[in-house]
């Protein structure tokens, strides 16, 4: 080892005795030119469509999808190739992206997306990664060809004009709206918001004490027995429950909620007079007097409906509660502000009351990329931070007092 180091030192520090300086410099110059040329040839070769689709995952999944779009074939004969959109064009980011591809090589070796089924299942993760990249750089790669400054808005259809002029004024990222433009969109329905994974893992390590109140981090099924065999309903995310006991994998919880004394009384709400869904029970159990205890009844002056304060105990799988609801709202808040501000400034949470939000939100959520779980959390977040609760942050039992002031 020492000998080797010595030889390397000699190689660099000892002047040459046989070869002239000019020959050395010329030789080094030629070698440098060749090396750089070779390097950029290699960079170009790995930036070719042929290179991308030489891997069967790309060839079987993404190429056929691209071939159906205008980016593959159109009347003007200009087309986009994989790296035009997916590899940054400047040197540093390009090199970083090439190194990032080591992850893709690893995925290829392990076979993470080796089959069409696996690919479809994994697609949402891949898409979100790419969407995050486009969101961060303002869809720079799209705009190498389609830039706002070169667009003639007058030649667009009138409906497009409105949207595009507004987008140009905001200098908005293209992919904010044009998702799925060159490939199929991921199946959003089965998608999970990755933000929930951290929530679920912190819930798994949450120590639970009997008699304390906790909040659900994901929707759960409710069961009549500790063996979790007889399903009697489901409980919504961010609902507060009191844990009574834990047996094996199951947890007995007490629900203290409100319901409308109308129909079967299957849907239970968190607060009097506010349609914030907390639990949904099966028909028979909701009418079972031995299961449901009615503590109080009040009439809602707005609707003339009688609301009952009810309580019940049920079993659910353990490991999905947290002692604070704030982490859930943090995710909801982030999702609300990013998804809704894409097209307009999102209204203040307290701008509407809890019973107005569901209609508004239901009308708008279709324009966003929120998955089912996320949209439920966001709606609940908006309702519990609505004008009905604006005086107190968490509305812990104070809904009735703030209700009076919030309504005319």
Partner 1 sequence: MNNQASNSSSLSDTDAAARTSEWPSFLLLAFVGLPVAMTLLIAAYGFVVWLLQILVFGPPS
Per CB under 8 A, residues contacting partner 1 are 10-11, 14-19, 24, 27-28, 30-32, 34-35, 38-39, 88, 92-93, 95-100, 132-133, 135-138
How many angstroms separate the CA atoms of 120 and 61, rounded? 9
Nearer to partner 1, 38 or 359 (CB): 38
How many angstroms separate the CA atoms of 96 and 205, rounded? 36
325 token code pair: 């609801």
Q: How far is the CB of 188 from partner 1 (least distance, A)?
A: 22
Q: How far is the CB of 28 from partner 1 (least distance, A)?
A: 5
Q: How far is the CB of 29 from partner 1 (least distance, A)?
A: 9
Q: Which stretches within 116-170 are classed as H helix?
A: 116-137, 158-170
How many angstroms separate the CA atoms of 246 and 316, rounded? 10
Contact 373, 381 (CB under 8 A): no
Nearer to partner 1, 79 or 97 (CB): 97
Q: How far is the CB of 16 from partner 1 (least distance, A)?
A: 6
Q: How far is the CB of 89 from partner 1 (least distance, A)?
A: 11
Nearer to partner 1, 33 or 210 (CB): 33
Q: Report the run of H or E that residue 298 belongs to, with start and end.
A: strand 293-299
**Helix, strand or coil for residue 274?**
strand
How many angstroms separate the CA atoms of 124 and 320, rounded? 24
Nearer to partner 1, 36 or 153 (CB): 36
Nearer to partner 1, 27 or 301 (CB): 27
DSSP letters for 26-51? HHHHHHHHHHHHHHHHHHHHTTSHHH
Nearer to partner 1, 31 or 162 (CB): 31
Q: How far is the CB of 100 from partner 1 (least distance, A)?
A: 5
336 token code pair: 């609300």
Q: How far is the CB of 279 from partner 1 (least distance, A)?
A: 39
CA angle 371-324-269, nearest 5°? 65
65 token code pair: 């999808």
DSSP letters for 168-202? HHHT--GGGT-TTSSSPPP-STT---THHHHHHHH
Q: How far is the CB of 83 from partner 1 (least distance, A)?
A: 15
Nearer to partner 1, 9 or 344 (CB): 9
Nearer to partner 1, 16 or 401 (CB): 16
Q: Which of 366, 365, 390 is nearest to 378 (CA)?
A: 365
**Helix, strand or coil for residue 235?**
strand
């Amino acid at each position: 080892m020492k000998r080797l180091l010595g030889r390397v030192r000699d190689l660099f520090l000892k002047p040459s005795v046989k070869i002239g300086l000019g020959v050395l410099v010329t030789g080094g110059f030629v070698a440098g030119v060749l090396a750089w040329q070779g390097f950029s040839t290699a960079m170009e070769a790995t930036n070719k469509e042929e290179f991308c689709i030489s891997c069967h995952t790309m060839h079987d999944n993404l190429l056929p999808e691209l071939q159906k779009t205008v980016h593959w074939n159109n009347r003007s004969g200009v087309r986009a190739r994989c790296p035009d959109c997916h590899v940054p064009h400047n040197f540093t980011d390009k090199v970083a992206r090439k190194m990032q591809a080591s992850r893709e090589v690893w995925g290829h070796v392990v076979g993470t997306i080796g089959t069409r089924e696996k690919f479809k299942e994994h697609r949402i993760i891949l898409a979100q990664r790419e969407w995050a990249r486009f969101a961060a750089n303002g869809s720079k790669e799209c705009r190498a060809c389609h830039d706002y400054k070169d667009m003639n808005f007058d030649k667009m259809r009138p409906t497009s004009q409105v949207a595009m002029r507004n987008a140009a004024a905001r200098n908005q990222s293209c992919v904010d709206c044009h998702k799925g433009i060159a490939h199929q969109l991921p199946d959003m329905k089965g998608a999970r918001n990755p933000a929930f994974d951290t929530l679920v893992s912190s819930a798994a390590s949450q120590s639970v004490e009997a008699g304390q109140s906790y909040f659900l981090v994901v929707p759960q099924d409710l069961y009549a027995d500790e063996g979790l065999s007889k399903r009697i309903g489901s409980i919504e995310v961010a609902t507060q429950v009191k844990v009574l006991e834990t047996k094996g994998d199951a947890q007995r919880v007490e629900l203290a909620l409100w319901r409308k004394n109308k129909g079967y009384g299957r849907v239970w709400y968190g607060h009097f007079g506010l349609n914030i869904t907390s639990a949904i029970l099966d028909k028979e159990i909701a009418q079972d007097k031995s299961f449901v205890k009615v503590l109080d009844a009040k009439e809602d002056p707005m609707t003339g409906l009688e609301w009952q304060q009810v309580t019940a105990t049920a079993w659910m799988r353990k490991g999905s509660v947290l002692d604070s609801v704030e982490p859930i709202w943090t995710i909801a808040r982030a999702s609300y502000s990013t998804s809704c501000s894409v097209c307009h400034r999102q209204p203040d949470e307290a701008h509407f009351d809890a019973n107005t939000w569901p209609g508004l939100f239901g009308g708008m959520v279709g324009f966003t990329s929120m998955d089912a779980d996320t949209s439920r959390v966001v709606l609940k977040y908006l309702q519990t931070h609505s004008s009905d609760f604006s005086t107190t942050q968490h509305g812990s039992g104070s809904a009735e007092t703030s209700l009076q002031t919030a309504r005319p």
